[in-house]
Homo-oligomer: A and B are copies of this chain.
Amino acid sequence: MQLSELSRRSGVSAASIKYYLREGLLPPGVTVSARKAEYDEDHLRRLRLIRALLTVGGMSVAQARDVLAASHDPAFDRHTRLGVAQYLLPPHVTAPPEDTPEGATWRERRGEVLTLLRDDLGWQIHDGAPALDALTEALTTLDSLGYATATASLRDYAVALRPIAEKELAIVDEHPAIDEAIEAVVAHTVLYEPVLLSLRRLAHEDVSARLHPPA
Tell whether, in the assembled complex, residue B78 and residue A212 are in contact, meaning their CB atoms are under 8 Å apart.
yes
Among A182-215, those with CB < 8 Å from B are 184, 187-189, 191-212, 214
Q: Is A91 an interface residue (CB 8 A)?
A: yes
Q: Is A125 an interface residue (CB 8 A)?
A: yes
Q: Is A45 an interface residue (CB 8 A)?
A: yes
Residue of B nearest to A171 (CB): B147
Tell whether, in the assembled complex, residue B160 and residue A195 are in contact, meaning their CB atoms are under 8 Å apart.
no
Which of A117, A138, A156 neighbours the largest number of chain B CB atoms within 10 Å of its CB?
A138
Give the interface SS of chain A, mostly helix, strand, loop or mixed: helix
Which stretch of A18-26, A31-39, A62-70, A161-169 is in the interface? A161-169
Q: Is A141 an interface residue (CB 8 A)?
A: yes
Tell whether, in the assembled complex, residue B52 and residue A166 are in contact, meaning their CB atoms are under 8 Å apart.
no
Task: Mark interface residues in A67-95 (1 if CB within 8 Å of B CB, else 0).
Answer: 00000000000110011001001010000
Tell whether, in the assembled complex, residue A144 and residue B202 are in contact, meaning their CB atoms are under 8 Å apart.
no
Copies of this chain, complex-wide, total 2
Given contacts A141-B191, A160-B163, A205-B86, whether A135 and B212 have CB atoms under 8 Å apart is: no
Tell whether, in the assembled complex, residue A200 and residue B205 are in contact, meaning their CB atoms are under 8 Å apart.
no
Tell whether, in the assembled complex, residue A205 and residue B157 are in contact, meaning their CB atoms are under 8 Å apart.
no
Q: Is A132 an interface residue (CB 8 A)?
A: yes
Residue of B nearest to A52 (CB): B141
Ranked 4 nearest A-B pairs via Cβ = A165-B203, A135-B198, A123-B206, A131-B201
Further contacts, 17 of them, CB under 8 A, given A162-B206, A169-B207, A189-B201: A48-B144, A52-B142, A58-B91, A79-B212, A123-B203, A125-B209, A131-B197, A132-B202, A135-B202, A138-B192, A147-B184, A153-B167, A154-B195, A158-B199, A160-B161, A161-B203, A193-B200
* Chain A contacts to B: CB under 8 angstroms: 45, 48-49, 52, 55-56, 58, 78-79, 82-83, 86, 89, 91, 117, 123-126, 129, 131-132, 134-135, 137-139, 141-142, 144-145, 147, 149, 153-154, 156-158, 160-169, 171, 173, 184, 187-189, 191-212, 214
